[in-house]
């Protein structure tokens, strides 16, 4: 398939230009992606029962792990749906680079989530209008309310993609803080007697003291007190902490004050300066990993997986699936190497908003069907079937008696052996298939008894926790990661504004400013953290930053904030009127 060859060529080019590190692994991934040819799109293959299974292709502009071609759960799903999808993932490029390569070639996989490149795909006319098909596929149509579907309409009035995540069936169930936080290993907290840690100074003070007293792991490996991931778009691990430290929720690209409804630049607040000054101080002390600003994502994950890193800022979803399983396999829970979140703010008395409860609709990206798909109805039928109860259980829980058991009341649980297998890389590749970047329900299962996923089932969640995390939770009188950090309501109808910012392009002054701001922060913030003279480096950074025209960016964001608030108010008024008329009619 031309789109495969184009992506593979771009991967080789990117890897050659950036680094030879990890070359052999990258070649393996590239060769894997080349196995899917152009004729595989929507073709059929024989099933054991004499039926046919349609074959589709997909590309997701995020790193991921491919599963085996003979994966057992995937085969079971194929038997139920009559279709199968070859999933491929981003390697060695940014999302926008990969999407740009596809657009230049003019051919696409059947399914795509372009991440930050979704707007590019829409503008290139690469995507199928989905709204005209919704009535034919009730599981897809019922995945969102009409109000939420309308939020996904683009400038031409049509819907082109389906956000896959943060959508609860029945009721929201929260056990994991799947978002950003200052994370710390349980061994550090245990050593200090599980103290209350709520400020940035307290956090680093504890890490410093622990490392001074315990500089090495049990096998003699030196600890890394604190590391920072700055690779490509993941530099949020460095740059956006100031908005959280001031007690605001994750609007991502700026602060939106819930009282004034005004957009504020978190890059220039007094807290921003204090935060980077703290990082500078810790760098000079040798607490901050000197490789922070050069390490790639895979190197970062490898470090965390060794258990050496005491703390970091990151989104849980960005590290947990790989790191938690690696720590479990090595039995590093016995040394307290698992991570828990702390409710850190700049000073005491500030209410943290690291976690917001309820579902958050990110309208900026999602699963789309491309114009290269030769069987649009077949593709959408597959998505519709994935949202059915039986397939949902296969995706999220696996196969009965192999991956979970069912008691007399219909409640699912797993044995310890099942949990160990579910964390094993080889078992996941050969057996489990979640189709993770296709739409999936959170919250409750459609059976009305169980949670949709094992990590949301309260008893199963707690039983599957590493022993060091269980001990930590007990010490803090907590039962979940959310309890550790606290929760808050979504701050307003504009939230999260990053879903708008992700669609901005250089076609507007604000979009140009946003691009320049990002490029400048990539260049200057590492210098600020490493500078021998912080004040001088910070002042230089602020002067150049102002030249990016952040005011234009904030102005366009403010217009969108106002628009979202007005739309929500109009919808509420319309609902109230309808309710009133219905009451009068009775």
Greatest distance between any 2 Cα atoms in the chain? 77
Residue 46 near residue 38 (C-beta atoms within 8 A):
no
Distance CA 51, CA 48 (A): 7
Six token digits for residue 253: 């690209």
pLDDT given at position 3: 57
**First vs last Cα of the chain: how many Å apart?**
61
Residue 342's closest CA among 186, 175, 529, 166? 186
Residue 252's closest CA among 235, 263, 264, 240? 240
Residues 6+ apart with CB under 8 A from 209: 192
The helix (H) or strand (E) run that includes residue 264 is strand 263-264
Residue 276 near residue 283 (C-beta atoms within 8 A):
no
410 by DSSP, 3-state: which?
A: coil
3-state secondary structure 67-112: CCCCCHHHHHHHHHHCEEEEEEECCCCCHHHHHHHHHHHCCCCCEE
User: Mean pLDDT per 10-residue run, the chain (586 residues)?
Assistant: 52 37 36 35 41 94 92 98 96 88 96 93 97 97 94 94 94 92 98 98 98 97 97 93 97 95 98 98 98 95 98 96 92 96 97 91 94 97 97 98 97 95 94 97 95 94 95 97 95 93 92 96 97 98 97 97 92 69 64
Token look-up 């009282």 returns 259
- What's the pTM value of the predicted model, to 2 decimals? 0.82
Quickly count: other Cβ atoms within 10 Å of residue 484's Cβ: 20
DSSP per-residue string spanning 504-549: --TTSHHHHHHHHHHHHHHHHHHHHHH-SSHHHHHHHHHHHHHTT-
397 by DSSP, 3-state: which?
A: coil
pLDDT given at position 12: 39
Q: How far is CA 542 from CA 4, 262, 512, 528, 547, in A?
A: 43, 22, 18, 11, 9
* CATH T-level fold of 2-169+363-402+435-450: D-Maltodextrin-Binding Protein; domain 2 (3.40.190)
pLDDT given at position 11: 41
Residue 226's closest CA among 306, 344, 311? 311
Distance CA 583, CA 578 (A): 9
Domain boundaries, the chain: 2-169+363-402+435-450
Six token digits for residue 525: 């913030």
Six token digits for residue 495: 């939230």
């Amino acid at each position: 398939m031309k789109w495969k060859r184009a992506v593979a060529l771009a991967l080789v080019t990117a890897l050659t230009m950036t680094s030879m590190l990890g070359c052999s692994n990258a070649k393996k991934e590239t060769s894997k992606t080349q196995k899917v040819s152009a004729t595989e799109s929507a073709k059929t293959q024989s099933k054991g029962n004499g039926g046919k299974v349609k074959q589709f292709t997909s590309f997701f502009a995020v790193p991921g792990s491919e599963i085996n071609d003979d994966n057992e759960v995937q085969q079971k799903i194929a038997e139920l749906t009559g279709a199968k999808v070859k999933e491929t993932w981003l390697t060695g490029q940014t999302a926008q680079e990969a999407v740009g390569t596809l657009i230049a070639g003019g051919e696409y996989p059947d399914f795509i989530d372009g991440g930050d490149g979704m707007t590019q795909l829409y503008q290139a006319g690469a995507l199928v209008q989905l709204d005209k098909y919704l009535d034919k596929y009730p599981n897809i149509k019922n995945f969102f309310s009409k109000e939420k579907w309308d939020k996904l309409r683009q400038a031409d009035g049509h819907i082109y993609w389906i956000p896959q995540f943060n959508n609860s069936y029945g009721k929201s169930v929260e056990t994991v803080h799947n978002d950003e936080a200052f994370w710390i290993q349980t061994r550090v907290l245990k050593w200090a007697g599980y103290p209350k840690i709520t400020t940035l100074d307290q956090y680093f003070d504890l890490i410093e003291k622990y490392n001074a007293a315990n500089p090495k792991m049990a096998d003699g490996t030196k600890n890394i007190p604190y590391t920072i991931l700055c690779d490509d778009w993941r530099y949020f691990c460095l740059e956006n902490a100031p908005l959280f430290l001031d007690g605001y929720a994750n609007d991502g690209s700026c602060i939106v004050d819930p009282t004034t409804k005004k957009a504020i630049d978190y890059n220039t607040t007094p807290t921003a300066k204090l935060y980077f000054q703290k990082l500078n101080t810790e760098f000079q002390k040798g607490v901050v990993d000197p490789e922070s600003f050069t390490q790639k994502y895979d190197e970062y994950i490898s470090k965390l997986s060794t258990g050496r890193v005491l703390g970091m800022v990151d989104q849980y979803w960005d590290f947990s699936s790989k790191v938690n399983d690696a720590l479990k396999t090595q039995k590093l829970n016995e040394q307290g190497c698992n991570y828990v979140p702390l409710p850190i703010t700049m000073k005491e008395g500030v209410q943290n908003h690291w976690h917001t409860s309820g579902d958050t609709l990110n309208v900026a990206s999602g699963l789309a069907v491309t114009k290269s798909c030769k069987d649009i109805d077949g593709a959408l039928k597959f998505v519709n079937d994935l949202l059915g109860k039986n397939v949902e259980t296969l995706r999220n829980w696996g196969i009965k008696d192999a991956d979970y058991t069912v008691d007399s009341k219909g409640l699912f649980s797993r044995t310890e052996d099942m949990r160990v297998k579910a964390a094993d890389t080889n078992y996941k590749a050969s057996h489990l298939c979640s189709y993770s970047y296709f739409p999936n329900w959170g919250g409750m299962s459609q059976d009305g008894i169980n949670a949709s996923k094992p990590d949301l089932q309260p008893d199963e969640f707690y039983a599957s926790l590493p022993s060091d995390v269980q001990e930590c939770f007990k010490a803090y009188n907590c039962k979940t990661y959310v309890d550790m950090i606290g929760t808050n309501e979504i701050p307003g109808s504009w939230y999260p504004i990053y879903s708008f910012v992700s669609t901005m392009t250089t076609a507007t002054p604000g979009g140009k400013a946003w691009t320049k701001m990002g490029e400048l922060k990539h260049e200057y913030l590492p210098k600020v953290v490493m500078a021998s003279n912080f004040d001088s480096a910070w002042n230089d950074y602020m002067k150049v930053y102002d030249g990016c025209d952040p005011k234009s960016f904030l102005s366009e964001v403010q217009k969108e904030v106002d628009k979202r608030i007005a739309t929500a108010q109009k919808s509420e008024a319309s609902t109230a009127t309808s309710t009133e008329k219905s009451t009068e009619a009775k």
